[in-house]
């Protein structure tokens, strides 16, 4: 059955998958959502005999229904290849009673590679399918990892330019170096004086600027997005949850139909929303455990039904989760609000105006799949040290937040259901925080000294993504205020 995409704020909009991928955001400021969530067509046993690329095809074809088999398989084979350092693409590692789904084996050693390795191929295929002759300008805000993964994916891709905005003082030194040393004549990177929410709001405002859109059209440009607000980012993320389940099944760790728990460190809510979609496709998931850091706006939402961004913004050791406006939550709000675009638009208007909204009692009752928890900075560091001491396993700060919240959940519920924890980044990306958590004596070391010490400690080779930035020259030194983002876009595109 064909899947069409409408806006969370206007169900009258109905576009094909390729059109939604190209556009990124609907004109009304909402998000594209499928008109129904398709059910898995292959049995879990059948899927367990497939490799990652084959599972990806079986999942993604159900959403991207206007892509031919050849088009989609070509995108998949070009994405999930030798850029990943393991044939499994997303291996599972057992440690301390849980399974860690390692999503950081791609080119930029973060889970964003799982979707951003394929998005450029989906985007260019979509452009061909829709006879688009304009140059596509990818406009992206990042809290640290999306930026480099998107830059890496789109660098040198014909017919595209990519502009990435990041919070100048809100990412790790390694994350920043990965972005500002990016090669490619079609790549642009800008640090803003503000936080991720400022960058994300600025990007959304640029998308909504009709006068700018008209000027771009005259110059032969059109915007699209590489953030998880693009459905072309979200759909590939569903794949690895299905894949993880089928690996457990294949290895005899679970039986077919047995439920598992999924634990996800969450900021913008896209990664855990993908798991929610997988559950609604028929994947046997018991609880979706949403892990927050000290910016615990999602924890408070799941506890009270009130989403309130009016609070102090915390800069933490898990910067990719330093977010107070979780954009993808809108897709869940739309779902539990019975796909009512008017109701959803009212909530989003309240969020933009008053900075908060409260869902109805009926909607709260539909959140039973979710458990919200959070970890403090001390708890995050303690979890890194505990995993190392007990299991000899080193995790990054974001994964540690998830592991900490899972143990809190276990303590509160006693639920011994097999748990899969999304391990979203390599510890090498956050070597200072990781090594300081293991032993404070490492505090005085320089960043790349810490990388080398971590390599020796964990007996893991330093990833190429880190080696290549040791002496790479800075190619992007653009900085602006949060109100100057539009002017930067105009300058890069020579519109001003």
Q: Indicate which residues carry an active-site annotation.
A: 112
DSSP 428: G
DSSP state letters, 136-170: EEEEEE-SSHHHHHHHHHHTT-TTEEEEEEEETTS
Q: How far lies 310's CA from each of 22, 207, 351, 353, in Å?
A: 33, 24, 10, 11
Distance CA 87, CA 439 (A): 33
Q: How far lies 293's CA from each of 175, 263, 386, 426, in Å?
A: 18, 14, 18, 18
Neighbours of 34 (CB within 10 A): 20
Q: How far lies 133's CA from each of 124, 217, 221, 436, in Å?
A: 11, 11, 9, 51
Residue 414: which residues within 8 A CB-CB, separation 6 or more?
A: none
- Both tokens of residue 116? 């951003």
Find residue 419's DSSP bridge partners. Answer: 261
Find residue 345's DSSP bridge partners. Answer: none
3-state secondary structure of 92: strand
Q: How far lies 259's CA from each of 255, 265, 279, 410, in Å?
A: 9, 20, 10, 16
Q: Look at the block and give the residue holding tokens 């143990």.
A: 407
3-state secondary structure of 454: helix
Neighbours of 353 (CB within 10 A): 9
CA dihedral 25, 26, 32, 35 (to 10 degrees): -160
- Report phi then psi at 372, rounded to 5: -105, 135
> Which of 380, 271, 227, 388 is CA-nearest to residue 318?
380
């Amino acid at each position: 059955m064909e899947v069409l995409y409408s806006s969370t704020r206007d169900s009258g909009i109905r576009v094909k998958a390729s059109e939604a991928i190209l556009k990124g955001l609907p004109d009304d400021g909402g998000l594209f959502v499928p008109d129904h969530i398709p059910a898995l067509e292959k049995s879990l046993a059948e899927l367990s005999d497939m490799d990652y690329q084959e599972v990806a095809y079986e999942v993604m074809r159900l959403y991207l229904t206007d892509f031919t088999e050849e088009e989609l398989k070509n995108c998949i084979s070009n994405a999930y290849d030798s850029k990943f350092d393991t044939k499994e693409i997303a291996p599972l590692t057992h440690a301390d009673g849980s399974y860690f789904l390692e999503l950081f084996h791609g080119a930029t050693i973060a889970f964003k590679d799982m979707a951003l390795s394929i998005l450029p191929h989906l985007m260019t295929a979509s452009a061909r399918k829709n006879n688009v002759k304009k140059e596509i300008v990818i406009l992206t805000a990042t809290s640290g990892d999306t930026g480099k993964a998107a830059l890496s994916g789109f660098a040198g891709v014909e017919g595209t330019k990519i502009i990435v905005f990041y919070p100048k003082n809100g990412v790790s030194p390694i994350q920043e170096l990965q972005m500002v040393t990016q090669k490619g004549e079609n790549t642009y990177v800008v640090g803003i004086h503000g936080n991720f929410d400022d960058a994300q709001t600025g990007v959304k405002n640029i998308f909504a600027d009709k006068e700018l859109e008209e000027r771009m059209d005259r110059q032969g440009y059109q915007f699209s997005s590489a953030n998880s607000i693009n459905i072309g980012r979200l759909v590939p993320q569903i794949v690895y949850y299905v894949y993880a389940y089928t690996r457990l099944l294949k290895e005899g760790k679970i039986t077919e139909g047995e439920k598992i728990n999924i634990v996800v460190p969450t900021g913008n809510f896209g990664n855990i929303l993908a798991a929610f979609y997988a559950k609604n496709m028929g994947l046997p998931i018991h609880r979706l455990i949403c892990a927050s850091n000290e910016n615990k706006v999602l924890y408070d939402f799941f506890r009270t039904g009130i989403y309130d961004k009016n609070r102090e913004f915390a800069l933490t050791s898990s910067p990719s989760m330093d977010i107070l406006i979780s954009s993808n939550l809108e897709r869940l709000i739309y779902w539990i609000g019975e796909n009512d675009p008017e109701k959803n638009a009212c909530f989003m208007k309240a969020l933009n105006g008053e900075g908060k909204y409260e869902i109805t009692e009926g909607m709260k009752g539909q959140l039973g799949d979710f458990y919200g928890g959070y970890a403090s900075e001390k708890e995050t560091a303690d979890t890194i040290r505990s995993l190392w001491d007990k299991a000899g396993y080193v995790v990054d700060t974001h994964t540690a937040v998830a592991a900490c919240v899972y143990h809190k959940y276990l303590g509160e519920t006693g639920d011994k259901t097999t748990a899969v924890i999304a391990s979203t980044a390599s510890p090498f990306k956050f070597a200072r925080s990781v090594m300081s958590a293991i032993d404070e004596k490492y505090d005085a070391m320089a960043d790349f000294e810490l990388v080398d010490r971590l390599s020796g400690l964990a007996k893991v080779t330093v990833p190429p993504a880190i080696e290549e930035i040791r002496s790479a020259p800075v190619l992007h030194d653009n900085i602006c205020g949060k109100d100057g983002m539009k002017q930067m876009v105009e300058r890069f595109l020579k519109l001003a």
